[in-house]
Structure 1
Amino acid sequence: MIAALLKRQFAKFQRRYKYDAAYLCEIADLDAIGALKLGLATGFTGHRFGVPKEAYFAAKITGAEWADCGSCLNLAIAMAVEADIPRESIAALLVGPAANAPEAMALARRYARAVIENDPCLPEVLEACERRWGRRGVAGLASATVSGLFFPLLKRGLGYGNACEPIYRELRSRMGDAGVDAGTSERTS
């Protein structure tokens, strides 16, 4: 019964965002309580902890982009647009120098990348984020970054990587690292 309820919710989510939720339905079939707990984790990763929505979605989009899952990146973008983040701001964040994006989004992107890549500049970026949004806001950025990574990695780990529509791995294989911008060419898929 729990699995059926969850699968109905996943179907609504799938229709709303045009996102393949087959892996979520499989989790519900495998272990309804586990799927329910996954829903609870989603509540946490969706909580902004007071960080502005522009910064939250910049970190989430950066995580999904780094995980190299096109469908998850598209989902994060759709959620950002639904939250009234201008498409132009999202495009500026993803295409070309992040400095072209609004300042809050550029800082959140620097934060997410520093966390994901364990960059030595993390303490400096963390300090800038704390000055701007406080420690509570940093918790929101951490949650957003994890959220952007979590589902692509879960999906890939369950063997649904073919549904991930990789974006950077394919570009690198066709063009070599020279064809991908400097911010993404250091990633490993």
Structure 2
Amino acid sequence: MIARLLRRSVRRFAARHDYDASYMLHVVDTSTSAGVRLAALPFFTQFTGPRGSGGVWAGAVLASTLEGDCGPCVQLVLDMAIEKGVPADLLALCIEGRAKEAGEVGLGFRFAEAAIADAPELDTLRAEIEARHGAEAVVAASFASAGGRIYPVMKRGLGFGKSCRRLRIGEREIGVVRQA
């Protein structure tokens, strides 16, 4: 019964987002218990923080997902961020390696990159997010920085990883620029 509900939920998600969720179905079919845990992940990864800080969250989850993948998972993050009202042009700037020009989205993007790398600018970026949006926004950006990597890493581990591809933002296609 639970497995059937999980499968239906995964199929609905996949259809809504034009996303290949075969790895999710594999998890559910392998272990209902694992499928329940997979279904709970969005409670962690989709915590966007206080009103007005969604751009910071979107930038952080984008950077984290890019660190783990440059294909379908990143496309899904882009589509979901745009659906939440995050400006597509700011997301594109981050993908193109121009996060400093991307306002709040770029702030979240740079924060996640710094958190992942344990870079010296992390404290400054954290303080900037907290000054603008409060401590809850730092929590959301931290969750996003850690959580965006979960799905691409899990997909590769399960043998469902995809290769890099050009990303689509509206009618525009862009390539990922990796920072050195």
> Would you call these one fold, judging by a TM-score over 0.5?
yes
Structure 1 contact 17–75 (Cα < 8 Å) conserved:
yes
What's the TM-score once normalised by structure 2's chain length?
0.86
Give the deviation of 1:157 after TM superposition: 1.0
Matched residue, 2:117: 117
Per-residue deviation, residues 18-46 of structure 1 (Å, max 9, x unmatched): 11101111111111122112212221211
The amino acid across from 1:166 in the alignment is: C
Displaced runs of 4 or more, over 2 A: 164-168
Give the deviation of 1:117 after TM superposition: 1.3
Cα RMSD over matched residues?
A: 1.8
Gaps of 5+ in 1: 169-179
Per-residue deviation, residues 77-113 of structure 1 (Å, max 9, x unmatched): 0001111222222212222421221x21121111000
* Mapping for residues 89-168 of structure 1, pairs under 5 Å: 89-101=90-102, 103-161=103-161, 164-167=162-165
Matched residue, 2:59: 58
Matched residue, 1:26: 26
The amino acid across from 1:56 in the alignment is: W
The amino acid across from 1:115 in the alignment is: A
* Mapping for residues 7-86 of structure 1, pairs under 5 Å: 7-50=7-50, 52-86=53-87
Question: How many residue pairs end up in the alignment?
Answer: 170
What's the TM-score once normalised by structure 1's chain length?
0.83
SS at match of 1:19: coil
Structure 1 residues 15, 62: CA separation in 2 closer, same or farther (over 3 Å shift)? same
Q: Distance in 1 between matches of 2:97 and 2:157?
A: 31
Gaps of 5+ in 2: 167-175
The amino acid across from 2:113 in the alignment is: R
Matched residue, 1:176: none
Structure 1 residues 96, 41: CA separation in 2 closer, same or farther (over 3 Å shift)? closer
Structure 1 contact 61–76 (Cα < 8 Å) conserved:
yes
Identity fraction in percent: 30
Higher relative helix content: 1
Matched residue, 1:173: none
Per-residue deviation, residues 100-158 of structure 1 (Å, max 9, x unmatched): 21x21121111000011121221222222222222211010011222311100111111
The amino acid across from 2:147 in the alignment is: S
